[in-house]
Structure 1
Amino acid sequence: METPEKQPATSFFQSNTAKMIMVGLLTLFLLIPLEFVKNLIAERSQRQEEVITEINDKWGESVFLYGPILKVPYTVYEETVSINEKTKETVKQRTAYTNFAYFFPEELKAKSNVTTKVLNRNNYESVVFSSKMAFEGNYIHPDFSSKEIANENIQWNKATIIIKTTNLKSIKDEVKINFGKANFTFEPVYDSTSKDSTEALETSYIDLNKILTEGKTAFRFEITYNGSQQIKMVPIGKTTQIHMESNWASPSFTGNFLPDDKTKQISATGFVANWKILHINRAFSQQTFDNLPDLRQYAFGVDFVIPVNQYQQNERASKYGFLVIGLTFLIFFLIQSISKIKIHIFQYSMIGLALIMFYTLLISITEHSSFMKAYIIAGIAVIALITLYSVAILKNRKFPLFIAASLSSLYTFLYVIIQLENYALLVGSIGLFAILAAVMYFSRTIDWNSSNS
């Protein structure tokens, strides 16, 4: 009687389970060089910020201003009572000191024409602008009745007009104001009472008795800045109307108030925006005493920045690195399981390193070109490399062509996600669901209990 021949026992290390574990561990190991790539992107991005700061500091920083503000001094008397210990008599002393009242315009209109351009230094660029602003409006006669200040205590002949602003060093022309048909020149002054980071421009003394009329007293002035990144203003008029136009096609409206949607226009050649803000829209009155409050929280304006710079796009691309490596290894593992072709763990490692090289190629080429061109060049280079390598290890053309098509689809899908903002999560979720469905379909006939022979 013949004894049936025993089948050789299958080694665990030759099973699909062991190969899946090794491929999974390799995928996790490749996160180390991928993290180095992310650090490289962060380092280059930080260097860009340093260069942009240096460029902006030389050209002109962000612009923030509000004014004009009528500053009127007044005399306040304070009485102190003391007792002479020797004579026991009561002694009264009257001390006078000067305080200030600040009055905002009844009407304030401003027209701003902003011309932007991009300055380049080495591989980095920054958006800067030149802004010409024209202001006009009027004042009503200052009212001190709320503080019960007598008219004889008001120093009408020592009033001044101030403008609170930043970026004084980048004002390009002399700033003069026509107030009540008289011209006054602004000079920079140190304001020790300022509660914010602004600086001040102030006129010489104005005799309001000669300037103010019974009704409204008009004013107008112009100011020209070189600046960068942002323009913000505070609506200090009882009625404030701002008109701004620029050649910048990607404005980001910021601050406490947005422009009127009905008149706002944004096109490839620039934008036009209008604001109309009433005093009831913000929580401060038309006059204040003693000190000016910090009004920065009520500011509004426009950001002139590149919406998504090259390093932000590279950073977003690198975040999908683990997904690209995992899906690529999954494709090779399914081909190996279906075709019974042996793929060594070293060959998986070479494929993984080629996928990592995509990101180093992407960031290095992006610094000398656009992100789209860099993505196409890096993608074609890596897909071609992995496809040619697949021809050698898979010994046919059918599977390498499938791999090339799969990688092309994957990189195209990721590029679409990177460009999207509002719909990135939705499109990504739908895409990953479709990939999962495809993997489940192609792996349905695999015998996971067998080993490759």
Structure 2
Amino acid sequence: MNTPPQKKSFGQWIKTSLTIRMAMIGILILVMLIPLSFIESLIRERSFRQEEVVKEINSKWGNEVLLYGPVLKVPYQTHRNAKLWDEKTKSYTEENIVETAYAYFFPNELSITTNVESELLSRGIYKSVVYTSDIDFTGNFESPNFENQGIKPNDILWNKATILLRSSNLKGIKSNLDIVLKDQSYPLRSRYAKNSSLSTLETQFLKEDSLAVKGPIDFKLHFTVNGSESLRFIPVGKETKVRMQSDWATPSFDGNFLPETKTKQITSEGFKANWKVLEINRDFEQVFFGTLPDIESSAFGVTLLIPVDEYQKSERAAKYGYLVIALTFLVFFLIQSISKVTIHPFQYLMIGLALTMFYTLLISISEHSSFRIAYLIAGLSVITLISIYSKAVLKGLKFPLFVAASLTALYGFIFVIIQLENYALLVGSIGLFIILGTVMMISRKIDWSAN
């Protein structure tokens, strides 16, 4: 008498069927995407919090500094005829209407010398780089030329000419601003600037002997300003020269113009840099009639960078979380398939959760220490935990040691990629090729004909 074949239970199918085991592992990898997405959200949240704290620190000390000027402002009269209706005569009469317009003249030569002394301010675990800068402006104005605009000499209001200086950070100025023209000193005071992102400082009316009517006239200006993150200038001079030195060792030179290569020096003690910008290098002219334009896009200068951004590196590490989980599950799958050891889906889930704990440890420890130390502690903790757990799952020492070695190599490989910038893609591609080749060689021993 033949006995009917017994149906296999689900647990038996998992033990004997490669297809079902692979499907279960695929499902578990997809499930692990959920905690990984929460971890990436946590990193972004902590990063945004850091930005908020840094902005608050900077706003109290002084925000970034952008300087525009000095500019010679000369008013002049314009004339136009207008027809006006006269109720008494019931007719139109012509009347000459006189209006006031302004001409703006940029310096002929402009030299800026600045010494930037940096400082790190902290609030809790967050840091921001701020600075105090002593700035000297020297240069000269040429005689203003109104002839090209057809403006008559009698219409020029020389007695109402002033000097303008614009800045993005009046709050950070820590000394009086007095510009010296020839032998006369004129204080700069705040003025309301309509439709401008920069604040305006303006002198009182200039005396006649302070004007460059009969020839060039020299000027000089010295002041101290507190700022944060960046210091930039707009090259308003026909020839603009900037000399900058600082004790900050990690600058980023940005803007429309870079410093001269031969003069740029960056050491562990700080940096020195010189710029030279000519009128022909810019996309704006020396004289404006009517309104003073916004030319902030032509600014150049330096940004003081904090060299290590822990959240940025943690975010880059988290992006490789899918790869770490998939390769670790693949290692256990290969071990299970070769050794015939049974690994339950719950055990895969525990291993996956342990791998995601690496990133929470990395974020929390890096906030109080360096990224390198945090990565080392988090990596050793997770590798140790999974190795001990796999000893109970895989029975014996050979396979747990192989798991530990694989995880160590994988975390080491990812750490190298994170540190690299220019060669990250090249090294990553080579590493993945080697991993793929290794898996292909090992998987040759598996009997894929099983159900």
What TM-score, normalized by structure 1, do the two folds share?
0.94
Once residues 157 and 119 of structure 1 are traced to their aligned partners in structure 2, the CA distance between those partners, rounded to angstroms, is 47
Once residues 33 and 272 of structure 1 are traced to their aligned partners in structure 2, the CA distance between those partners, rounded to angstroms, is 47
Contact 1:66 1:233 in 2 (8 A): yes
Displacement of 1:268: 2.0
2:74 to 56, 72, 75: 72
Displacement of 1:167: 0.9
Displacement of 1:212: 2.9
Partner of residue 433, structure 1: 433
**Matched residue SS, 1:125:** strand
Q: Partner letter of residue 126 of structure 1?
A: S
**Matched residue SS, 1:157:** helix
Partner of residue 170, structure 1: 172
Partner of residue 331, structure 2: 331
Partner of residue 266, structure 2: 266
Partner of residue 106, structure 1: 108
Once residues 396 and 55 of structure 1 are traced to their aligned partners in structure 2, the CA distance between those partners, rounded to angstroms, is 56
**Matched residue SS, 2:259:** coil
Alignment: residue pair count: 447
Contact 2:181 2:210 in 1 (8 A): no
Partner of residue 20, structure 1: 22
Once residues 84 and 341 of structure 1 are traced to their aligned partners in structure 2, the CA distance between those partners, rounded to angstroms, is 108
Partner of residue 139, structure 1: 141
Partner of residue 205, structure 2: 205
Displacement of 1:214: 3.7
Once residues 326 and 409 of structure 1 are traced to their aligned partners in structure 2, the CA distance between those partners, rounded to angstroms, is 15
Once residues 315 and 20 of structure 2 are traced to their aligned partners in structure 1, the CA distance between those partners, rounded to angstroms, is 34
Give 5+ residue unaligned stretches, structure 1.
none
Once residues 91 and 393 of structure 2 are traced to their aligned partners in structure 1, the CA distance between those partners, rounded to angstroms, is 112
Contact 1:157 1:209 in 2 (8 A): no
Displacement of 1:165: 0.7
Partner of residue 226, structure 1: 226
Any residues of structure 2 matched to 1:380-395 within 5 Å, and which?
A: 380-395=380-395
Displacement of 1:155: 1.1
Instruction: Map Cα deviations across residues 144-181 of structure 1 (whole Å, 9 max, x no partner).
Output: 11111111111111111010111101101001111112
Once residues 278 and 416 of structure 2 are traced to their aligned partners in structure 1, the CA distance between those partners, rounded to angstroms, is 43
Q: Partner letter of residue 282 of structure 2?
A: R
Once residues 404 and 447 of structure 2 are traced to their aligned partners in structure 1, the CA distance between those partners, rounded to angstroms, is 26
**Matched residue SS, 1:291:** coil
Displacement of 1:125: 1.0
Any residues of structure 2 matched to 1:149-160 within 5 Å, and which?
A: 149-160=151-162
Once residues 334 and 210 of structure 2 are traced to their aligned partners in structure 1, the CA distance between those partners, rounded to angstroms, is 91
Displacement of 1:84: 5.3
Are 1:122 and 2:124 an aligned pair? yes
Q: Partner letter of residue 263 of structure 2?
A: T
Displacement of 1:305: 2.7
Q: Partner letter of residue 79 of structure 2?
A: Y
Instruction: Map Cα deviations across residues 377-436 of structure 1 (whole Å, 9 max, x no partner).
Output: 000000011111111111111111111111111101101111111211111111111100
Once residues 84 and 57 of structure 1 are traced to their aligned partners in structure 2, the CA distance between those partners, rounded to angstroms, is 57
Once residues 200 and 42 of structure 2 are traced to their aligned partners in structure 1, the CA distance between those partners, rounded to angstroms, is 43
Are 1:48 and 2:50 an aligned pair? yes
Once residues 271 and 82 of structure 1 are traced to their aligned partners in structure 2, the CA distance between those partners, rounded to angstroms, is 66
Once residues 49 and 212 of structure 1 are traced to their aligned partners in structure 2, the CA distance between those partners, rounded to angstroms, is 47
Once residues 347 and 100 of structure 2 are traced to their aligned partners in structure 1, the CA distance between those partners, rounded to angstroms, is 84
Contact 1:159 1:208 in 2 (8 A): no
Contact 1:83 1:91 in 2 (8 A): yes
Q: Partner letter of residue 312 of structure 1?
A: Q
Structure 1 stretch displaced more, 216-225 or 235-244:
216-225
Structure 1 stretch displaced more, 133-142 or 253-262:
253-262
Displacement of 1:4: 13
Contact 2:108 2:239 in 1 (8 A): yes
Displacement of 1:449: 2.1
Q: Partner letter of residue 294 of structure 2?
A: D
The 1:166/1:4 distance shift into structure 2, 3 A limit, reads: same
Contact 1:245 1:271 in 2 (8 A): yes
Q: Partner letter of residue 353 of structure 1?
A: L
RMSD: 2.1
Contact 2:75 2:157 in 1 (8 A): yes
Q: Partner letter of residue 377 of structure 2?
A: I
**Matched residue SS, 1:168:** coil
The 1:416/1:208 distance shift into structure 2, 3 A limit, reads: farther
Q: Partner letter of residue 388 of structure 1?
A: I
Displacement of 1:360: 0.6
Contact 1:316 1:418 in 2 (8 A): yes
Once residues 348 and 12 of structure 1 are traced to their aligned partners in structure 2, the CA distance between those partners, rounded to angstroms, is 17
Among all aligned residue pairs of Structure 1 and Structure 2, give the percentage whose two residues are the same amino acid. 53
Displacement of 1:82: 4.4
Any residues of structure 2 matched to 1:403-422 within 5 Å, and which?
A: 403-422=403-422
**Matched residue SS, 1:161:** strand
Give 5+ residue unaligned stretches, structure 2.
none
Partner of residue 349, structure 2: 349
The 1:345/1:82 distance shift into structure 2, 3 A limit, reads: closer
Once residues 283 and 299 of structure 1 are traced to their aligned partners in structure 2, the CA distance between those partners, rounded to angstroms, is 12
Partner of residue 363, structure 1: 363
